[in-house]
Amino acid sequence: MKRRQPPRLPEWLLGRLCREELLEEVMGDMYEYYELLSHKPTWKRHMLYWFHSFQFLRPRMIKKLPMGQNSSFFGLFRANLRMAFRSYSKNKLVSGLSLATLVFGVVCFQLVYAWIRNEQSMDDFHSKGDRIHLVVGKLNPDTDWNAFDVQRMFNINYAEIPHVEKSMVVHSYRPDEIKLVSKGMDHRGKALIVDSTFFDFFDFELTRGTRDVLNDPQSIVITKAFASRVFGKEDPMGQVVDIKCDQTGTYKVAGLVEKIPSNSSISFDFLVPRQSSRFWRRMPQNLILSDVFFDRATFDDDMAVAKAESTRFPESVLSSFPLKSIYLDRSVENPLFAKYGNRTNNQTMEGVALVLLLITLVSFVNLQTSLQLTLVRKIGVKYIIGASRFDVGLEIAVSRLIYLIVGAGLGFLLYQWLFPYYVGLLDLDLDSTPSFDMLSMFTVMGGIVLASWLVSFVQVYRLKTSQAIAGKLSLKIPRLQRVLTTLQYAITILLLVATTVVFLQLGHMLNKDTGLHQRNIVQTDFFEMMPNQAQDSVALERMLRQHDYVLNQLNNHPGIRTVSQGTIPIDMAFESSWKTASEGNEYTPVYTMPADPHYDDVFGMELVEGRFFSDTLDNNNDNKLVINEAAKAYWGIDEISQVKLTTNTRSSSQVDYTIIGVVKDYHYQHLSHKIRPLILSYSIYQDTDVLLSVEEGHMDEVVAFLGDLYREVNPGGIFTYQTMEDKIDAQYAAEKRLSSIYLTFSVVALALSSIGLFTFAFHETRRRTKEVGIRKVSGAGFEQVFWLLNLSFLKSVAVAFVLATPLVWYLMRMWLNNFAYRVELSWWIFAGVAVLVLVVAMSTVLWQTISLSKASPVESLRYE
Amino acid sequence: MSKEHLGELEELILLVILKLEKDAYGLAIRQEIIRQAQRSVTIGAVHGTVNRLEDKGLIESEYGGATEERGGRRKRILTVTAAGLKALERSKDVKMNLWQQIPVLAVNKS
């Protein structure tokens, strides 16, 4: 009978792995063993053969790895490690700077990247996020898209629209519109009044309660943060609370949301089931959950058909926006969304991240290459002794690996330490994700270290042993590195100029005369939303009494100059459609704001023509308007008494409005806009916020008085107020953030570039030590040598400046074009930045060049 | 000194080599251990121990002739050296000595 051969694979493996001197014996025994097993079933025979083969894999039997002259891989590794540490301690300065560059640069990059990632993942955590759409519409084609209650206004049944699986109606109440009362204390928070399908749409994490909790009309869901504000350490579940807004009701806390993630554009403090009351006064929004075949154009058509049955708004158009696009496009603004992103801002940040990464990469590679250059002779010697290229490559790799490991550890600590400051300083809404950040930092550092290894290895690979030993090799810094350092400086100059311009523009906007008084103006919300007279006439009467009492108190306070009711006119004007009544003109959108008779006094508005509203002459239903000069010019009005205005936004029937006065233009919007036409309409409602103009120096006293009065009128309530100066600050928050981002990172860029230049100087001075000695012996003085050494550095900074200037001039002109009122791009910004960069660059270089220029030639010639 | 102490498997293998005389090689040792001690060791374990013993200088080896049943490979025949015999004897002495110090009663009881 033919002998069965043992399985090939384990034999082959043994042949590869087992030491040669043992192989014959081992294979022989295994072969014999296989024969011994011949009575067993084949599978068992094979299994046993495999098992025994694996048992040979023990340290004594495995081949040593093929490693040059050294006996073991780990021994070599240890030797390399020792060598690396020796080289660190010999070049403490450069190694220290390398490590600092790596850690600092990558941590800064990661900080920016964490923010970008948060922006990009906005609303991604909702698993059905791609299928959620906000229903929007326009009542006539001229207006912006608006999210109103399409379902009710057009009597639409979403269940009949194809590809719509579920729908939800949401009312959003801002903290000043709703309060949660627990044990007699008021707590204000943002509330969403939602259908029970809320958790079918959104994936907010519920720590307590089930996802169908909102089916029960008496249950509310609150966030953990809000719960601890309201209930302290008590268990919030099962607590009984009252909700008060235009409706009141008693509810039980039945669900707890862990946290609103920082990458959620929708936020709330508590959720109230919509079916708990028949009617909510706030205009709601409609959200739909589509299936995967949803198509916007088809939906628009279907909606057009569905709304045709209701003829109330014949000119209207309906559509939808995907949830995920709303954050960045800002296509529709409404209180459901807590925040909006900004594409340009994101692009800027991406640019900043990229620049940081590049600068770090270039700096680290430059530092390491210059360090490697000083080791050229050593490597030559190594080659002669018989080291292979592999050995040398490994040596470099080991030394870089230490940077990576130490750098990653330090980087992580630094990151954890800096993160809270970063979030605080730039006022970001950002969750920390330590494990991901660690991984991403490690990857980036790994990439940088790998790049530096490749560059060094290529350098060493090309090295000719004989030249290295004989010292014939040019130790000059490669041209590429010089170019890169110059580029780094160019970027730094660019960032610095940008920072300066942003700062100047910010200062310009904050200090510009807007035509209004800005100091000592306070706005506070004294009164709750007016109760509906039909529902609760007693409450209405009580409120009107309170209103009279409060206004009386305020008017009699000596520290208060003027009392008015309304809002601070910053970004609070809204567009509605107007036209002059006499002609057959089209309606166009014009900004409109309400005002009461004392409004002009509070802000010091100047009247150009006619009169402002007055207590005695005007009334809510008088249809009288005050316009600004821009509006007068816009309609080309010569004589205000001759022209009447009309709108189609307020009622369907045409009503003519009389213009009673013209105010001098003032800024009521962000200064990126020119002053646009504005209409002030007469309005007195008791529940509007109170506006006060305070006598100079009485601010603290008045605020204390307001607080007491507020608590007297609203026991248990929490007093809040806003000053005009705060609002202006908030208005320019985006520019402020941009300027602090630029400032932070241009300082980082400057520091990293300076480190790069420092290394060059360090290397150059060492290389030219002898040369300087010879020059001095031949009669050169300190001055000549000094300039000779410094000129090359000056040159690279100068080239960088020439490169950066036109580019940054162009970019900044583009940015400034966003603003109607802007600072000039004057030459001294550039000159200032140039001087700053030169001073910093020279101060990193000077110490070394001076000490070399001063050195006695005897010393420098004896060097080495 | 560690070189002179024998592990349990080492001692067993030394004894088996002595018993097998001219026919002591890896697989035969394994089979003998199974037969004598009803103890299943892998071939790898035997080889590992044998190599260790050789490093300690307790056994020697030479190659025998190539045979058909090994696929034309030679056997490595093992013999115990003088040092190996000495180590075995010392190990035996230590154990005998200990055994003799144990009261007969205590042993019978168990």
Residues A490 and A797: beta-carbon distance below 8 Å: no
Q: Which of A328, A307, A331, A330 is CA-nearest to residue A317?
A: A307
The pTM of this model reads 0.68
Question: What dihedral do alpha carbons A439, A442, A448, A449 form, nearest 10°?
Answer: -150
* Three-state secondary structure string covering chain B: CHHHCCCHHHHHHHHHHHHHHHHCCHHHHHHHHHHHHCCCCCHHHHHHHHHHHHHHCCEEEEEEEECHHHCCCEEEEEEECHHHHHHHHHHHHHHHHHHHHCCHHHHHHC
**Mean pLDDT across the stretch A564-591?**
78
Residue scoring higher pLDDT (A347 or A471): A347
- The predicted-structure confidence for A505-549, as pLDDT tens digits, reads as follows 888 887 777 788 888 888 888 777 666 666 677 777 888 888 888
| Residue predicted with more confidence, A463 or A557 | A557
pLDDT band per the 50, 70, 90 thresholds, residue A68: very low
A608: pLDDT strictly greater than 90: no
Amino acid at A43: W
pLDDT confidence of residue A684: 76
**A67: confidence class by pLDDT, cuts 50, 70, 90:** very low
Q: Could you give the percent of chain A with pLDDT greater than 70?
A: 94
Rounded mean pLDDT of A323-338?
Answer: 82
Q: What pLDDT, on the 0 to 100 scale, is given for residue A69? A: 46
pLDDT in tens, A76-107: 777 788 888 888 888 888 888 889 989 999 99
* DSSP annotation of A569: S
Model confidence band, residue A716 (pLDDT cutoffs 50, 70, 90): low
Out of A32, A54, A56, name the one closest to residue B47 (CB). A56
Taking CA atoms, A131 is separated from A199, A294, A593, in Å, by 14, 8, 37
- State the virtual CA torsion across A109, A110, A112, A115 in degrees, nearest 10: 160
What average pLDDT does range A376-380 have in this prediction?
Answer: 77
Sole residue written with tokens 């009544």: A581
Binary contact (A61, B51; C-beta < 8 A): yes
- Contact flag A25-B69 (C-beta cutoff 8 Å): no
- Residue A410 pLDDT exceeds 90: yes
Residue among A28, A31, A58 minimizing CB distance to B44: A58
pLDDT of residue A756: 75
Asked whether the beta carbons of A40 and A24 are under 8 A apart, the reply is no
- Give the one of A52, A57, A60 whose C-beta lies nearest to B43's C-beta: A52
Q: Is the pLDDT of residue A491 over 80?
A: yes
> Which of A288-302, A376-390, A424-438, A578-592 is the most confident on average?
A288-302
For residue B71, give the nearest of A26, A31, A51 by CB distance: A31
The model's pLDDT over A124-181, given as tens digits with 9 standing for 90+, comes to: 888 888 889 998 888 777 677 888 888 888 888 888 888 888 889 998 888 877 888 8
Is A29 in CB contact (< 8 Å) with chain B?
Answer: yes
* Alpha carbon distance A192, A651 (integer Å): 29
Report the residue from B27, B45, B63 with minimal CB separation from A29: B27
Tell me the chain B residues in contact with residue A60 when contact means C-beta distances shorter than 8 Å.
48, 51-52
Cα angle, residue A847 at apex, residues A841 and A848 outer, rounded to 5°: 95
What's the mean pLDDT in A59-74?
60
Instruction: Chain A: give the shortest CA distance to residue B86, in Å.
Output: 25
Residue A576 pLDDT > 50: yes
pLDDT in tens, A261-278: 888 888 899 999 998 888
Mean pLDDT within B50-78: 83
Query: Which residue is associated with the tokens 């279907």?
Result: A302
pLDDT band at A863 (very low <50, low <70, confident <90, very high): low
Q: For chain B, first and last CA: distance in Å? A: 33
Residue contact B74–A31, C-beta within 8 A? no
Backbone φ, ψ for residue A581 (5° rounding): -70, -30
Cα angle value B37/B43/B48 (rounded, 5°): 100
Helix (H, G, I), strand (E, B) or coil at A181: strand
Structure tokens at A167: 């729908």
* A817-836 mean pLDDT: 85
Number of other CB atoms surrounding residue A774 within 10 Å: 13
Indicate which of B42, B54, B55 best probes the interface with A, i.e. most A CBs within 10 Å of its own CB: B42
Task: List, in order, residues 6 or more apart from A58 with CB less than 8 Å away.
Answer: B44, B48
CA distance A76 to chain B (A): 25
Q: By the 8 A CB rule, do A115 and A121 touch? A: no
Cβ distance A332 to A721 under 8 Å?
no
Q: Is A71 helix (H, G, I), strand (E, B) or coil?
A: coil
CA-based nearest residue in chain A for residue B66: A28
Residue with tokens 């011994």: A36
**Angle made by CA atoms A518, A522, A523, in degrees to the nearest 5:** 120
Per-residue pLDDT tens digits for A726-782 = 888 887 877 787 778 778 878 887 888 788 777 777 777 777 787 888 888 888 888
A109, β-bridge pairs:
none
Average pLDDT, chain A: 82
Residue with tokens 């030993």: A469
All residues at 6 or more sequence positions from A319 whose CB lies less than 8 Å from its CB, including other chains: A135, A136, A137, A145, A296, A299, A300, A303
Q: Which residues of B touch A33 (CB under 8 A)?
A: 27, 43
Chain B residues interacting with chain A (CB cutoff of 8 angstroms): 25-27, 31, 42-45, 47-48, 51-52, 63, 69-71, 73-76
Cβ pair A453, A404 in contact under 8 A = no
**Residue A409 has what pLDDT?**
92
The beta-carbon contacts of B78-82 under 8 Å, at least 24 apart in sequence, are: B78/B17, B78/B24, B78/B25, B78/B29, B78/B50, B79/B17, B79/B24, B80/B14, B80/B17, B80/B18, B81/B57
**Residues A379, A41: Cα–Cα separation, whole Å:** 61
Confidence of residue A310 (pLDDT cuts 50, 70, 90): low
**Tens digit of pLDDT for each residue in A391-409?**
888 888 888 888 999 999 9
For A781-821, write each residue's pLDDT tens digit: 888 888 888 887 788 888 888 988 999 899 888 888 888 88
Band the pLDDT of A46: cuts 50, 70, 90: confident
DSSP 8-state secondary structure symbol assigned to residue A663: E
Inter-chain Cβ pairs, chain A and chain B, closer than 8 A:
65
